[in-house]
A and B are shown apart, each in its own frame.
Chain A
Amino acid sequence: MKLFEKIIYSILNSKFKKFLVLFVTLLAFVGSVMMLPTKIVLAKMLPGKSANTYSVYVDTPTGSSIEQTKKVTVCVNKILEKEKEVKDIETYLGLGSPLDYAGLVKGSGFKRSENIAEIVVNLTNKHTRDEKSFMMVHRLRPVIQKSCEPIVKGTNIKMIEQPAGPPTLASIVVELYGQNSKKVRKIAGEIATILTKTKGLVDVDVMQDEIFKKFELKVDKEKVIRSGLSIKQVNQILYLAFEGMDVAIKNSGNSPEQIPLFLVLSKKTKELSKFSKHDLADKLASLKLMNKKGMMIPVNEIVTIHEVNSSPTIMSKNLRKMVNITAETDLVSQVYPLLDARSKMKEYFSKDYIVTDTHLFNLRLKDKKTGELYDLDWDGEMKVTMDTFRDLGGAFIAALILIFLLMVVYYKSFAISGIILLGSFLSIIGVIVGHWVMDVFTVDTFFLTATSLIGFIALMGISSRNSLLLIDFTIGLIDKGMEKRKAIAVATATRAKPIFLTAAAIILASTLLARDPIFGGLGVALIFGTIAAVAISLIFVPVLMDNTKAIKE
Chain B
Amino acid sequence: MQKSYKPKDVAGKLAKGFLHNPLTPLLGVFLLIMGYIALEVTPREEDPQIEISGGAVMVVLPGATPKQIDNIIVKPLERRMKEIKGIEYIYGIAAKNVGIVNVVYYIGENRESSNLKLYDKVMQNMDQLPKGTMQPIVKPFDIDIDIPIVTVAFYPKDGSNISQIDLYKKVKYVQNELNRIKNVAKTGLKGEKKEQYNIQVDLKKLSGFHLSMGQIVKSLKSLAADVPDVKDRTKDGKLVIFGVKNAIESIRDVQNLIIAQYMGSPIYLRDVASVKIGENIQDFRSAEILYRKNGKFEKSKKQITLTLSKLKGTNAVVIADKIQKRLDELKSELSKDGISFKITRNYGVRADEAVNELVFHLLISIVIIALLLVFVLGWRESLIVTFTVPAILAVTIFVAFLTGQTINRITLFAFLLSLGLLVDAAIIVIENIHRHLHDHSSVDKDMDEILIEATDEIGAPTNVATLAIILTMVPMAFVGQMMGQFMKPIPQNVPVALFASLIVAYIFTPYLSRKLLKKPNLHHHKHHFQKDILESKKDEK
Contacts and interface: CB of A to CB of B under 8 A. Distances in A.
B483 interface: yes
Interface string A476-518: 0100111100100010001001100110111111111100101
Which has the most chain A C-beta neighbours within 10 Å: B74, B201, B342?
B201
Contact of B190 (A95, A237, A241, A315): A95
B159 to A, nearest CB: 19
Q: How large is the interface on A (under 10, 10 to 19, 20 to 34, 35 or more residues)?
A: 35 or more
A410 B47 CA distance: 40
B29 interface: no
Contact of A311 (B96, B307, B417, B461): B96
Contact of B147 (A91, A101, A244, A250): A101
B458 interface: yes
Contact of A81 (B173, B206, B297): B297
Which has the most chain A C-beta neighbours within 10 Å: B172, B288, B470, B532?
B288
B203 A269 contact: yes
B479 interface: yes
Interface stretch (B121-129, B216-224, B235-243, B516-524): B216-224
Interface in B118-173: 141, 143, 146-148, 151, 153, 168-169, 172-173
A454 B213 CA distance: 69
Interface in A245-296: 246-251, 255-257, 259-270, 283, 286-290, 296
Contacts of B289: 88-91
Given A244-B282, A259-B197, A395-B478, A166 B486 contact: yes
A482 B464 contact: no
Given A94-B284, A509-B419, A101 B365 contact: no
A384 B481 contact: yes
Interface in B67-91: 67, 69-70, 74-75, 78-79, 82, 89-91
B274 A120 contact: no
Contacts of B458: 469
A98 B345 contact: yes
B285 interface: yes
A535 interface: no
Contact of A246 (B75, B196, B460, B528): B196
A472 B146 contact: no
A384 B146 contact: no
Contacts of A120: 344-345
Interface stretch (B12-20, B369-377, B396-404, B507-515): B369-377
Contacts of B468: 402-403, 406-407, 460-461, 464-465, 468
Interface stretch (B109-117, B310-318, B421-429): B421-429
Contacts of B369: 504-505, 508-509
Contact of A505 (B200, B372, B472, B481): B372
B212 interface: yes
B90 A509 contact: no
Given A97-B190, A318-B89, A502-B427, A522 B284 contact: no
Contacts, number: 420
B416 A100 contact: no
B494 A458 contact: yes
A473 B461 CA distance: 9
Nearest to B99: A314
A462 B421 contact: yes
Which has the most chain A C-beta neighbours within 10 Å: B201, B428, B464, B478?
B464
B199 interface: yes
Contacts of B82: 319
B25 interface: no
Which has the most chain A C-beta neighbours within 10 Å: B153, B220, B424?
B424
A262 B297 contact: no
Contacts of A27: none
Contact of B246 (A250, A388, A391): A250
A262 B198 contact: yes
Contacts of A250: 197, 224, 246, 248
A238 to B, nearest CB: 9
Interface string A78-113: 001100000111111111011111001000011010
Contacts of A114: 284
Nearest to B155: A90
A506 B221 CA distance: 77
B286 interface: yes
B413 interface: yes
Interface in B272-316: 273-274, 280-282, 284-292, 297, 300, 303, 305, 307
Contacts of A264: 198-201, 281-282
A166 B285 contact: no
Nearest to B419: A509
A261 B478 CA distance: 58
A358 to B, nearest CB: 18
Which has the most chain A C-beta neighbours within 10 Å: B201, B419, B474, B475?
B475
B473 interface: yes
Given A262-B281, A391-B479, A461-B468, A99 B147 contact: yes
Nearest to B151: A98
B231 interface: no
Contact of B172 (A241, A256, A454, A516): A256
A312 interface: yes
B286 A93 contact: yes
A38 B470 CA distance: 34
Contact of B63 (A235, A464, A510): A235
B78 A316 contact: yes
Contact of B372 (A387, A498, A508): A508
Nearest to B481: A387
Nearest to A91: B288
A513 B465 CA distance: 24
Q: How large is the interface on B (under 10, 10 to 19, 20 to 34, 35 or more residues)?
A: 35 or more
Given A98-B307, A501-B376, A263 B199 contact: yes
A316 B92 contact: yes
Contacts of A505: 369, 372, 420, 423-424, 427
B214 interface: yes
A77 B213 contact: no
A82 to B, nearest CB: 9
B57 interface: no
Contacts of A66: 284
Interface in B161-219: 168-169, 172-173, 190-191, 194-204, 206-207, 210, 212-217
B56 A110 contact: yes
Given A77-B300, A387-B480, A501-B376, A481 B66 contact: no
Contact of A90 (B153, B212, B424): B153
A95 B70 CA distance: 25
B199 A240 contact: no
Contact of B196 (A88, A259, A519): A259
Contacts of A90: 153, 287-290, 303, 305, 344
B361 interface: yes
B537 interface: yes
A50 interface: no
B431 A497 contact: yes
B50 interface: yes
Interface string A438-479: 000000000000100011011011101100110011000100
Contacts of B202: 265-266, 268-269
A228 interface: no
4 closest cross-chain pairs (CB), A and B: A461-B469, A506-B420, A465-B465, A166-B482
29 contacts: A90-B287, A90-B289, A104-B141, A104-B146, A237-B214, A248-B224, A249-B224, A257-B195, A259-B195, A261-B196, A263-B216, A265-B200, A288-B210, A313-B66, A314-B69, A388-B479, A391-B484, A399-B474, A468-B464, A473-B461, A481-B537, A498-B427, A501-B431, A502-B423, A505-B369, A505-B424, A508-B368, A509-B365, A509-B423
Given A237-B213, A259-B196, A263-B201, 16 more contacts: A93-B287, A98-B148, A98-B190, A110-B56, A247-B220, A250-B224, A260-B196, A261-B220, A262-B280, A262-B282, A290-B212, A314-B92, A314-B93, A316-B78, A391-B484, A511-B365
